[in-house]
Amino acid sequence: MRLPLPRGHWITLWRASARGEIGTYLNLVGSEGHVAFEALREDRALIDEEFADAGLSPPIWERTDKGASVALRWPAPLPWDGAAEDRQLAELQVAANQMVNSFRPRIERITTAIGA
């Protein structure tokens, strides 16, 4: 599932049965993504605290040549029966809500400030 954010950035929710993992990530694309990533990192301690308050691990911050991401991932071993899928959905809902709450307003502010 993909949740759009300003300026072509987005949040993705995913499941990978082959790896037995689920997670979510904020994708920040191109040079604008690098600018947004650096600005967000200035709030990293506060963002990590927001995630902890929601019962989540601190996000993983990664920068590449093509952009940057902020991610959460956790084990989701097989088999994925109905109970496992219900649990995964609940975990992804909490993670998605926190990603949106922590990052959407900041990205809106950052893109407005840089005139993007």
Q: Exposed, middle or buried: residue 42 (CB in 10 Å: 0-12, 13-18, 19+)? A: exposed
**Distance of alpha carbon 25 from alpha carbon 13, whole angstroms:** 7
Mean pLDDT within 19-31: 92
User: Is the model's pLDDT at 106 over the cut of 80?
Assistant: yes
Q: Exposed, middle or buried: residue 46 (CB in 10 Å: 0-12, 13-18, 19+)? A: exposed
Amino acid at 60: I
User: Token pair of 83, please?
Assistant: 């109970």
Residue 68: which domain range? 2-113
What CATH number has the domain bearing residue 24?
3.30.1460
Q: Exposed, middle or buried: residue 48 (CB in 10 Å: 0-12, 13-18, 19+)? A: middle
pLDDT score recorded for residue 5: 81
pLDDT score recorded for residue 111: 78
* Structural domain count, the chain: 1
CB 8 within 8 A of CB 107: no
pLDDT score recorded for residue 22: 96
pLDDT score recorded for residue 67: 83
